Amino acid sequence: MQQRRQAMDHDVSGETTGWLNMADGQRLFLRSWPLARQARGAVLIVHGLGEHSGRYERLAQWFNQRGYAVRSYDQRGHGLTPGPRGALRHGDDLLEDLATVYLDYAAGLAHPPLLLGHSMGGMVAARTVLDGRITPPALLLSSPALRSWEPAWLRRLARVLARVTPWLPLRNGLNFDKLSHDPRVVAAYRDDPLRTGWITPRLADFIFRAGAACIADAADLSVPTLLLVADSDDLVDPAGSRAFARKAASTGLLTTRFFSTLYHELFNENDPGRAQVLMQLADWLGRHAVPPRS
């Protein structure tokens, strides 16, 4: 994997931005929240379908306050990363991209970063780890897109269209109102100029196939993993997370936390729901994810 990283630009908030070139020439937009002093660890965040890395500033600040540096990036077809919206050149592009970004970030750190993925990003993170492309010290999955609410006929259609018209732009159909109980989150998402409402058959087929493959291979999980599940999720089917948890139970590496009344974006929910999610995350980090000090 040959890549070239351009210099990071700084803004007054402490956030830095830059670019990383993939082996196929695709440029990915990077966004980081570093720490002025030596960090206890680091986290790489992988965003979900239709969104972008900038929506994780609040979560990044939460990690910063606990001594973790943070990086995220706009996946291809999303945010400030150039190219057709919601599109892939090859079926495993998102997995290759994550591995490249992760290894580039890890190369500049004292300890490899934790990996956190939300929704589609959670599925991408899980699949990349299960494939053995990277081995983070810990994996955190928030509402991962392991199973869709879409009917079987639509999943079959996506498979056919992925072969015939893989670049065809289609509406992704995400229900804004079921992202969070906080109306400010919903309004900000709806008005976000970097949000995309498009998906192509190749990306849709990848999501359907890779989510099912993650469940099938869950018993191969090899790193400590925290699975956070929104049981009132209307964007992804939480039954996929339950199936993953059952198959991964034999590894002894999975901790699962269910939140019965919360919507899809657990880190953007109203309090006290959000506070409960972050309390579970902080407790798990304290027990599983503190790297050894030099």
Q: Which residues are catalytic?
A: 119, 233, 264
Please report which helix (H) or strand (E) contains residue 87, including its range.
Answer: none
Pairing of strands 16-21, 9-10: antiparallel
> CB under 8 Å to 262, separation ≥6 — which residues?
181, 230, 231, 232, 269, 273, 277
Rounded CA separation 127/148 (Å): 16
Greatest alpha-carbon pair distance for the chain in Å reads: 54
Cα dihedral: 146, 150, 154, 155 (round 10): 10
**SS3 of residue 162 by DSSP:** helix
How many Cα neighbours within 13 Å face the side chain of 289? 27
Angle between helices 120-130 and 93-107 (to 10 degrees): 80
Distance CA 82, CA 68 (A): 29
- Pairwise CA distance, residues 239 & 99, whole Å: 27
- H helices of 131-182, in order, are 152-164
Q: In sequence order, what E strands does the chain have?
A: 4-5, 9-10, 16-21, 27-33, 41-46, 68-74, 114-118, 139-142, 170-171, 198-199, 225-230, 254-259
